[in-house]
Amino acid sequence: MEISMKINGAEVTHDVEPRTLLVHFVRENAGLRGTHWGCDTSNCGACVLWVDGTPIKSCTMLAASAAGHDITTVEGLEKDGKLDPIQQGFIECHGLQCGFCTPGMLMTGRWILDNNPKPSEEEIREGISGQLCRCTGYKNIVDSIHWAAAHPAENEVSA
Amino acid sequence: MQTPAPVDYVRATSVADALSLLQQHGDEARLLAGGHSLLPMMKLRLARPEILVDINDLDELRGIRVDGNEIVIGAMVTHAEILNSPILFEHYPIFREAEKVIADPIVRNKGTMGGSMCQADPAEDLSAVGAALRGTVVIQNAEGRRTVPMREFHEGPYETKVADGEILVEVRYPILPGSGSAYEKVERRSGDWAVCAAGACVTISGGVFSSVGIGIGAVNAEHFTATGAEAFLVGKEPTAENIATAAQMAADSCDPSADQRGPADYKKHLAMELTKRALTRAAAAAVAVHLTKNGA
């Protein structure tokens, strides 16, 4: 079936099987490999992207269900050649080692800050509780999100 | 790599359209709500529908609203929406307590109440909440709507009163002014299914329990509740002793089986302890509301 959706602002159309999962549509059909394909069981959160601004696990959504919706992937965070503060935070605070969980962490981290510009450590830890990192022990990820909260982009309303 | 087997897909444009699609395709069709139960089942080939009827566009199944003396939750309301609902928190804090421990924040953004309830896992949290609150399930088919009490909704594990060609459209909860409610759950790790969970919703009048609702999940409680323990408490003072007796009665009425989540005697102990804690907190909250209403 032919499926069209907006990914990071660009209209993308492909003919795929109805059983195609959104994570595979984004990676294989749209060619955006930033979103990672991890556990396949909605546990690890490496595949988190936004559908209409809300993060979901794209291994557990059909691409067909996403047709007609606005998708934002990790590639969509950077604006005009400038990294989003959440991305800069992960650089500043060494928020990744192997990097496999990072795209999901970035998408959830950005979402946490969009809803709560000054989250507590507990709120960040709760917010990323649907995502697994096997390298950092999470401390540097929490620090990275805190860094982004303390360094909002100029167009963000600082809390 | 886990991927569903080949399947057809169609998007319903209304409840009436979804019902006619279900009728057209019979038991080969399955409704696709949030997909967080059905898609994993399809990946594992535990479910093999021929066609998915996607109901995510049906706004008529969304929304949490007050209707007279009831709160109505649409089938397609997500777990995140229930968690963050001011209406539900005002009347029934038990929803927030239960939702906080269902899966994780990202899964809660997509998973729906109707999907969870129709999957009918024996450890499903909203089933225990619904039993405690004595909700009513509204089911629609080609002939119209019918209602089923939450306490009669489950036919057994993974089986409900929703038949082929039917849709769960909403669940209605009676508003109980002055009630207190609470939810307790023990899981192996954050976001997991319950080893055991218990919820309670009570009202207190004249210093004694005037109504008691108990919901128990994951330990094979009949209809997710414990009617003997409820009946015992009505008319009695909310003392620690009475609550402990009721909690023991509730645990005795459960019949858990041993599995990877723990042995049966441990689960029975949890049923007692969690029922006790839920009743104790619900009673304290109900008393507080009662005193506030009298200006104290």
Q: Are residue B252 and residue B169 in the same domain, yes or no?
A: no
Q: What is the separation, in whole angstroms, between the first and last Cα of chain A?
A: 45
Q: Say whether both A8 and A65 belong to one domain.
A: yes
Domain containing B94 equals 59-174
* pLDDT, tens digit, 9 for 90 and up, residues A55-95: 999 999 999 999 999 999 999 999 999 999 999 999 999 99
Question: Do B169 and B233 fall into the same domain?
Answer: no
* CB pair distance less than 8 Å for B32 and A65: yes
Task: Name the residue of chain B whose CA is nearest to A54's CA.
Answer: B109
From A19, A42, A64, residue closest to B3, measured CB to CB: A19
Contacting residues of A for B3, CB less than 8 Å apart:
19, 21, 24
Q: Which residue has the tokens 């599995």?
A: B259
Let me know whether A110 and A68 are in one domain. Answer: no
Query: Are residues A99 and A145 both part of a single domain?
Result: yes
Give me the mean pLDDT over the B5-22 stretch: 98
Distance of residue A114 Cα from the nearest chain B Cα, in angstroms? 15
Specify the residue for token string 């566009």: B57
Per-residue pLDDT of B219-243, as tens digits, reads 999 999 999 999 999 999 999 999 9
Does residue A159 form part of some domain?
Answer: no
Task: Looking at the structure, tell me whether residues A93 and A66 fall in a common domain.
Answer: no
As a whole-number percent, the residues of chain B with pLDDT over 90 amount to 95
Cα B217 → chain centroid? 9
Identify the CA nearest to B278 among candidates B98, B99, B66, B151: B98
Give the C-alpha separation, B67 to B70, whole Å.
Answer: 5
Specify if A67 maps to a domain: yes
Whether B153 is in a domain gets the answer: yes
Helix (H) or strand (E) holding B204: strand B194-205
Last-in-domain residue among A76, A93, A116: A76
Q: What pLDDT score was predicted for residue A24?
A: 98
> Mean pLDDT, to the nearest integer, of B96-120?
97
pLDDT for residue B296: 43
CA atoms of B30 and B18, how far apart (whole Å): 10
Whole-number Å distance between alpha carbons of A58 and A23:
5
Q: For A109, which residue in chain B has the nearest alpha carbon?
A: B106
Asked if A58 contacts A46 with a C-beta cutoff of 8 angstroms, the reply is no
Which residue stretches of chain A have pLDDT < 50?
A: 158-159
| A155 part of a folded domain | no
Nearest to A19 among B7, B54, B109 (CB): B7
Residue B289 has pLDDT above 70, yes or no: no
Asked if residue A68 and residue A23 are part of one domain, the reply reads: yes
> Is A89 within the bounds of a domain?
yes
**Which among B125, B157, B174 is the end of a domain?**
B174
Residue A33 falls inside a structural domain = yes
B203 with B140, same domain: the answer is: no
Residue with tokens 């929304």: B63
- The residues near A122 (Cβ < 8 Å, ≥ 6 apart) are none
Distance CA A50, CA A72 (A): 5
In a domain, A157, yes or no: no
Backbone angles phi, psi at A153, to 5 degrees: -65, 160
Q: Looking at A76, A106, A129, which one is the last position of a domain?
A: A76
CATH number of the domain enclosing A7: 3.10.20.30
- Same domain, yes or no, for B32 and B67? no
Residue B275 within a domain: yes
| Mean pLDDT within B171-199 | 96
In a domain, B165, yes or no: yes
pLDDT band (50, 70, 90) for residue B290: low
Identify the top-confidence range among A148-157, B70-79, B183-192.
B70-79
Q: pLDDT of B247-273, one tens digit each?
A: 999 999 999 999 999 999 999 999 999
Among A132, A7, A24, smallest CA distance to A73 is for A7
pLDDT at position B190 is 85
CA angle, B112 then B113 then B114, to 5°: 90
Give the total number of structural domains in chain B.
3
Q: What is the CATH number of the domain that holds A91?
A: 1.10.150.120
Domain boundary among B151, B174, B197: B174
Calpha distance B290→B296 (Å, rounded): 9
Is the overall model pTM greater than 0.90, yes or no?
A: yes
Say how many CA atoms lie within 13 Å of B44 toward its Cβ.
Answer: 7
Instruction: Assess whether A67 and A89 both reside in one domain.
Output: no
Query: Are A62 and A14 in a shared domain?
Result: yes
Distance (Å, whole) CA B8 – CA B26: 14
Q: Tell me the count of A-B CB pairs closer than 8 A.
A: 76
Task: Specify the DSSP class assigned to residue B138.
Answer: E
The last residue of one of the domains, among A25, A41, A76, is A76
Residue B207 lies in a domain: yes
* Non-local CB neighbours of B157 within 8 Å, separated by 6+ positions: B120, B121, B122
Asked whether residue B2 is assigned to any structural domain, the reply reads: no
Angle of CA points B138, B143, B146, to nearest 5°? 20
Domain containing residue B15: CATH number? 3.30.43.10
Dihedral (CA of A9, A11, A14, A18) sign = positive
Mean pLDDT of chain A: 96
Q: Record the tokens describing residue B94, joined without a space.
A: 């038990």
Last residue of a domain, one of B116, B146, B174: B174
pLDDT band at B295 (very low <50, low <70, confident <90, very high): very low
- Round to the nearest angstrom and report the end-to-end CA distance of chain B: 62
Q: A98 lies in which domain range?
A: 85-150
Burial profile B204-243: b = 16 or more Cβ within 10 angstroms, e = fewer:
beeeebbbbbbbbbbbbbebbbbbebbebbeebebeeebb
* DSSP code of residue A133: -
Complex ipTM value: 0.96
Average pLDDT of B18-29? 96
B216 in a structural domain: yes
Residue A91 makes CB contacts below 8 A (sequence gap 6+) with A83
Residue B226 and residue B274 in contact, taking contact as beta carbons nearer than 8 Å: no
- The CATH number assigned to the domain holding B270 equals 3.30.390.50
Does a structural domain hold residue B3? no
Residue B228 shares a structural domain with residue B165: no
Q: Can you point out the beta strands (E) in B60-179?
A: 64-67, 70-74, 136-141, 144-149, 154-156, 159-160, 167-174
Question: Token pair of B106, please?
Answer: 């990202």
- B76 lies in the same domain as B169: yes
Q: Which residue of B has its CA nearest to A22?
A: B3
Indicate if B192 and B128 belong to the same structural domain. Answer: no
Q: Structurally, how many domains does chain A consist of? A: 2
Residues B166 and B216 in one domain: no
Describe the strand order of the beta sheet including A2-7 as a list of residue ranges.
Answer: A10-15, A2-7, A70-72, A48-51, A54-57
Q: What is the CATH number for B98?
A: 3.30.465.10
Q: Do A56 and B54 touch (CB under 8 A)?
A: no
**Same domain, yes or no: B23 and B121:** no
Region B107-128 average pLDDT = 97
Q: What is the pLDDT of residue B1?
A: 80
| Measured distance CA(B152)–CA(B162) in Å, rounded | 11
Interface test with A, best of B44, B84, B104, B106 (most A CBs within 10 A): B106
Residue B1 within a domain? no
Within this chain, do residues B90 and B138 fall inside the same structural domain, yes or no? Answer: yes
Q: Are residues A63 and A90 in the same domain?
A: no
Q: Are residues B210 and B229 in the same domain?
A: yes
Residues of A in contact with B2 (CB under 8 A): 40-41
